[in-house]
Chain A
């Protein structure tokens, strides 16, 4: 047997081993996926929570027309938002007024709950004044996960 034939034999054996290995890996991956799926099903049956509860802070700019005091509007903002969101979203999303400065017309709102909550709250903030006829609008300016990042916009440096 010459050297060339030996080299060819070694390469072909190597290729065969690699293909066998890849088949084994693929089968293992599939079985892992199956295991994951069955865990998902068990979770559904048990009814455990799959989402992470998140918390976000939204910086708002509040502008009132027709001499409506900003302070009273901001204090009632959370209840107004809850009214617009409805009971279904209220069960999933928590709202609280974290801080406000009526002289600057700014406020910080805390949103907690499902990750989709922030999207719904921002949408409610944008369309609220169409429903409750209060001549004040709240414009979301920034969103952050840290209150300290937004507090500088209220000029609170503590």
Chain B
């Protein structure tokens, strides 16, 4: 099963091309783009589960997305600072916390330790494309190798403590897309076993979906 829970496409035709040519089973896309695609989606020849996604910039003032947004799409919370990230780890509600280049400093092993103590299941979503972009730009702050090392450490900690973590491509266009098999190869090069890769690429994303659809944390809001 090929799952990519966040494709950051802006164009509906790109989603259709990607899904039809590369055969995803579950694809996540921003809810505003999905609304534009509703007429074209029946053209797809194969059955695909499309998940509406939305991004919430979490701050201390607005930690979680509003309720109506929770029902409409699977939210991804991007913490703005360390304090917000720690607060998100402790809320009594299922949340998906983003791990990208900006949040790498505070969504780390310590954050995973906090999340493991929470009673409600929480997830970390690794947005991979911004990390791969580091290979193209000469950043003095962070190298690709260093960034991937930290991501690997965080994933390893999550797997050890059974905190949900999954990797999404977050590709902005079809030219820079990362297929789930490519992500699998990348995880293999980081040293993860086949079982661990199945957990990250198949088991935890489906668990996050099941959780959002109302079996665990979000059901309390309905």
Contacts and interface: CB of A to CB of B under 8 A. Distances in A.
B21 A123 contact: no
A65 B175 contact: yes
A135 interface: yes
Contacts of B132: 127, 130
A103 to B, nearest CB: 15
A123 B185 contact: yes
A131 B136 contact: yes
Contacts of A135: 174-175
Interface string B2-26: 0000000000000001000110000
B188 to A, nearest CB: 7
A16 B178 CA distance: 66
Given A63-B21, A63-B22, A65-B17, A129 B185 contact: no
B175 A133 contact: yes
A130 B189 contact: no
B176 to A, nearest CB: 6
Interface in B181-204: 181-182, 185-186, 188-189
Given A127-B132, A127-B135, A130-B136, A122 B175 contact: no
A131 B135 contact: yes
A126 B176 contact: no
A129 B135 contact: no
Contacts of B179: 126, 137, 139
B22 A129 contact: no
B132 to A, nearest CB: 5
Range, interface on chain B: 10 to 19
Tell me the dominant secondary structure on chain B's binding face. Answer: helix
> By CB atoms of chain A within 10 A, which of B22, B176, B177, B182 has the most?
B182
Range, interface on chain A: 10 to 19
Given A63-B22, A127-B132, A137 B177 contact: yes
B181 A139 contact: yes
Contacts of A158: none
B186 A130 contact: no
Contacts of B178: 126
Nearest to B176: A130
A126 B186 CA distance: 8
A23 to B, nearest CB: 40
Nearest to B133: A130
B174 A122 contact: no
Contacts of B21: 63, 65
Contacts of B186: 123, 126-127
> By CB atoms of chain A within 10 A, which of B135, B177, B178, B185 has the most?
B185
B174 A139 contact: no
A152 interface: no
A138 B93 CA distance: 40
**Interchain residue pairs A-B with the least CB separation, the first 5:** A126-B182, A126-B185, A122-B185, A123-B189, A135-B175
Interface of B: 17, 21-22, 132-133, 135-136, 174-179, 181-182, 185-186, 188-189
Given A129-B177, A131-B135, A139-B182, 18 more contacts: A63-B21, A65-B17, A65-B21, A65-B175, A122-B185, A122-B188, A123-B186, A125-B185, A126-B179, A129-B175, A131-B136, A135-B174, A135-B175, A137-B22, A139-B181, A140-B181, A140-B185, A141-B181
Interface of A: 63, 65, 119, 122-123, 125-127, 129-131, 133, 135, 137, 139-141
5 contacts: A119-B189, A127-B132, A127-B182, A135-B174, A137-B22
